[in-house]
Structure 1
Amino acid sequence: MPRIPVHTIDTAPAGGGEILRRLEKRYGRVLNIHGGMAHSPVVLETYAAITSAIAEHGTFDARTREAIALAVGAVDACDYCQSAHTVSAKVAGFTEEETVAIRHGEPGDDAKLAALVQVAREVAGEVGEASDAAWDKAVAQGWTDTELTEVFVHVAVNLYTNYFNHYVRTDLDVPAAPGLEG
C-alpha cells in the first residue's frame, strides 16, 4: 500500500504541476512514480533533470539504457522499475524472455552488452564498486572509458527511482514484469 497519494498535474504542489506536464509529454501520461515525486518538487525536478541530461548528452541506445535499468531494478528488487523497464525494453527490441534473462543476470547472446550490464549490476549491488574483472571484460568487449563513465549516471538514476519506489511504496500502474505477479 502506498504511503502517499499520487498527484495529478492539477493537484501537485506549486512547481510540481509544470514538471509533471513535461514528464507527461515525454511518457504519454503521468506515471504513479512521477505523481508521487510531485509531493516535493525538488525530488521530481532532480529526476527530470537527470533524465533530461541523459536524453541530451547520453550516448547509449535505448536497448543499452533499458538493459542497465532492468539489471539495476533486479539488483534492488524494485518491482515498479522492473515492470516499467520491461515495457520499455520490449519497445526497444528485447523479447520478454530476454528481459527476464537480463534481470536474472544471464548474459544472453550479446557479449558486449552483457559485459557492460555486469559492470552496472556490480555498481548497484556493491555500493558503487565494480570488480576489476568486470571492468576489464567490458573494456575487452570494446566499451570505452567514456561509456564506462556514463554507466554511472544510468545506475544512479535507476537507484534514485528504485529507492524512491521502495520508500513510498509506489503502486504499479504498468503491467507487472514476468515473475513478479502475485
Structure 2
Amino acid sequence: MSRLSIPNLDADTGPSGQLYAQIKKAIGSVPNTFAAIAAHGPAALKAVLAADTVLASGSLSKSDREIIKLIISEAAGCDYCVAAHSHLGTLVGVTQGVLKQVRDGKPTGDARRDALVTFVRKLARTSGTISDQDYLAIKAAGYSDAQLVEISLAFATTVFTNVFNRINDTEIDFPAAA
C-alpha cells in the first residue's frame, strides 16, 4: 500500500478531482502515481502533464520517449516507473525483448536506439555530465539539438516521478516488467 492517502477519485470535486476527470477522459483510468501526486500537489501534476504535452508535440518518437523514461527509471531503481514505461513502451510498439535489452543495458540491434540508450544511461550515471565524445556520438546518431532539449525534459520529469514514487512507495498498478 502506498504511503500517501488518496481520496475517492469520483467524489473529489476540487482541483485534484478536476485533474482526475481529465486523466480518466484521456486514458480511461488514473494511474496510482498521478492520483497520489494530484491529491497532495495538483499543481505539480499539472506541470508534469504540461511537460508531457510539450514532449508529445516534439520530434522524439513515442518509442524514444518511453525508452528514455525506462532507462532513467531503471537507473533510479523505481519499480513503479519501470513497470509503467515497460507497459507504455509495448503500447507504442517496442517489443518486450527490446525493452528487456534496454533495461539490461544490452544492444538492441538498432544503432540509433542503441546510441540513445548509451547517451541517456550516461546522463543518468553522471547526473548529466557528458564528454564531447558523448555529445558527438548522439549527434552522429541523428539526434537534433531540439531533440537534446526534449531528452533533457523527459529526463527531468522522469526523475520527479521516480523520486515521488520512491518516497510514496506507490502501489504498482501496471503489469510487471517482463
Does the alignment reach a TM-score above 0.5? yes
* Matched ranges for 1:30-41 at <5 A: 30-38=30-38, 39-41=40-42
Aligned length: 177
Q: Distance in 1 between matches of 2:134 and 2:95?
A: 25
Q: What TM-score, normalized by structure 2, do the two folds share?
A: 0.91
**Partner letter of residue 151 of structure 1?**
I
RMSD: 1.7
What percentage of residue pairs aligned between the two structures are identical? 31
Structure 2 Cα separation of the partners of residues 120 and 7 of structure 1: 36
1:128-167 to 2 correspondence within 5 Å?
128-167=128-167
Matched, 1:48 2:49: yes
Structure having the higher helix fraction is 2
Superimposed CA distance per residue, residues 151-178 of structure 1 (whole angstroms, 9 cap, x where no aligned partner)? 1001111111111101111000111112
For 1:79-118, list aligned pairs within 5 A.
Answer: 79-118=79-118
Superposition TM-score, scaled by structure 1 size = 0.89
Report Cα offsets for 1:89-118 as digits up to 9, x if no partner.
111112111111111222211111211222
CA distance in 1, matches of 2:25, 2:36: 17
Superposition misfits of 4+ residues, deviation over 4 angstroms: none
Tell me, which stretches of 5 or more residues in structure 1 are unaligned? none
Residues 160 and 144 of structure 1, relative CA distance in 2, 3 Å threshold: same
Higher relative contact order (CA 8 A, sep 6+): 2
Alignment of 1:8-87 (within 5 A): 8-12=8-12, 14-38=14-38, 39-55=40-56, 57-87=57-87
Taking the aligned partners of 1:35 and 1:176, their CA distance within structure 2 comes to 19
1:25 partner letter: K
Going from structure 1 to structure 2, the CA distance change for 1:47 and 1:19 (only over 3 Å counts) comes to same
Q: Alpha carbons of 1:13 and 1:121: their partners in 2 closer, same or farther (altered >3 Å)? A: farther
What is the deviation of 1:6?
2.8
- Pair 1:8–1:157, CA change in 2 (3 A): farther
Q: Aligned partners of 2:130, 2:110: CA distance in 1, in Å?
A: 20
CA deviations over 1:56-108 (Å, ceiling 9, x no partner): x3211111111111111111111111101111111111211111111122221
Q: Report the AA paired with residue 45 of structure 2.
A: L
Q: Is the 8 A contact 2:89 2:99 kept in 1?
A: yes
